[in-house]
Amino acid sequence: EVTCSGRGGARAKSEDSNACFDPPTGTRLVMSAAGTDERAPLLLGADAASGGWGWRKRALAGLAILGTVAACVCAVAATGGLGPVGMAALGVDEQCHSPLSQSAQKIGLSTYAPPDRCKAMVVCAGSPRAASTAECTLAEHVLEYMMEDEHRAGRLQQEKATYLGYWNYHLHQLCSDGFDCENKYPAGLQNLWTRDDWSNALSNVDGGDDIRTEMDNYYGKRDSVEPSSVVIAKTHEFDETLLTMCDRRLVLTSSREKEEVFDSALSLGWFTQPKEDSRWWFDTYYDLWQQWGHCWVSATQGDDNTARFDLNFKQLSTEGSFRAVVRLMAYELAKVLQLDDTLMDMNGIVDKVVDRDFQRELNPTLTNGDLRRATAEAASN
């Protein structure tokens, strides 16, 4: 069941359900994917509906900012790429920041505290509706086989990676579009600096139990991380904090043809038909998603301890291209773990992942769109 209520609009009650969305009337959409920690954008809020053209002005102002940031990114590329320190010199850091944490800090909401030390981190930072979940799943499975083999051979201390979940999940659940978040966080959530503060405040928030559970899960896993650990975190939003975690990092990004992204989002109900009536809103958020990707690109360039791997959606279409991208990813993961790939059974690792994942739905709940709802309706008839 979906409840459309609360400040800012609709919110899905369950982790794997689709919620309401009607851009013309300003109703807000929230959708979740079971097991993926991935949500659709909160495309509009109830406050947007009451604000009318004023909200559109804020959105257009946001797009103007995006254009400025894109220019900064181009400047970084032209200079051969700069790491996080170099970004600050160009002023890019003023725009390439976490849209969640910066907004949270304005009203006194704490962000996740990272592990004290870890060996390597995989940041699953793919773009929405561009195989981001599939890419992260492939990385998890490659690491699973690789780390088991290397641990068994005595070349790696840890046997498996630690999945930390969606980074700053609590903020993502409250503002999953990453836009104008300080005006979307529930009014009663302010000055929450500790887990106890959050636990008490979430009792009165729609979906608070889920957020509290995920927060507890994160800190339980974080507290188990050791200097030799390999960790994985998921995000769509850019977050510079992730670029300072662990000794070495691999950032996974993804890409897909714009119109395919639009069609995929439409099929899930993220936007409403007729298609052209939703194009303005889609373009707004697509530009935002692209900007997060550009920020990951510029931030990883010139950083010897951070690499980036991009997956194009088309690479998942045939077994040959699928196998090739899995192999390339495996070599990148071996590098970030500082392992000698010549000592590995790389063919065996790739074969296992291909056999396990090719032509299997790696993000079933989102891809099925309204299947859950349709199934429930059929059962009631």
- DSSP letters of 42-57? ----HHHHHHTHHHHH
Instruction: Return the ∠ at Cα 103 (arms to 97 and 109), rounded to 5°.
Output: 120
DSSP 375: H
Separation in Å, CA 109 to CA 103, 131, 240, 370: 8, 31, 17, 34
Q: How far apart are CA 365 and CA 72, in angstroms?
A: 37
pLDDT of residue 363: 56
pLDDT of residue 185: 87
pLDDT of residue 154: 96
Pairing between β-strand 2-4 and β-strand 10-12 as defined by DSSP bridges: antiparallel
Q: What kind and span of H or E run contains 259? A: helix 258-267
Per-residue pLDDT of the chain (381 residues; tens, 9 = 90+): 333 233 232 322 223 333 333 333 332 333 333 334 444 444 433 233 333 333 333 444 444 334 433 333 333 333 333 344 444 433 344 578 888 988 898 889 999 999 999 999 999 999 999 999 999 999 999 999 999 999 999 999 999 999 999 999 999 999 878 888 888 888 888 899 988 899 888 888 888 999 999 999 999 999 999 999 999 999 999 999 999 999 999 999 999 999 999 999 999 999 999 999 999 999 999 999 999 999 999 999 989 999 999 999 999 999 999 999 999 999 999 999 999 999 999 999 999 999 999 987 665 544 433 323 322 333 333
Separation in Å, CA 351 to CA 66, 131, 323, 330: 42, 20, 8, 11
